[in-house]
Amino acid sequence: PAEKAMVCFGSMFIELPKAKTREILQQDQEELDKEINNLRKELRVKVNRLYEAQGKPELKGFNLNPMSAEEMKLINRILEG
């Protein structure tokens, strides 16, 4: 049916309404984004501690944040014309 989508959860396929499927996928993506950001923050701290333990200066530019999807779209628009 046009209003349903097949979704794979683990090793099982389930047919769900498209709206519910979209909601589940958006929630999963938000959780993944949060987890990725937390891991990036932790990595920065660990790398700084490692460099400090080795007696090396702190990395410059390592505290930069990635651009958001919206920022990337705007830059692509500017570059295209």
Domain boundaries, the chain: 4-60
Supply the DSSP symbol for 4: E
pTM over 0.75: no
Poorest-pLDDT segment among 40-44, 51-55, 73-77: 40-44
Tell me the pLDDT band of 24, cut-offs 50, 70 and 90. very high
Q: What mean pLDDT is reported for the chain?
A: 89
Tell me the pLDDT band of 1, cut-offs 50, 70 and 90. low
Q: 45-72: per-residue pLDDT in tens? A: 898 899 889 998 887 777 777 788 899 9
Give the up-direction half-sphere exposure of residue 60: CA atoms within 13 A in the CB hemisphere. 1
pLDDT of res. 17? 93
Supply the DSSP symbol for 56: P
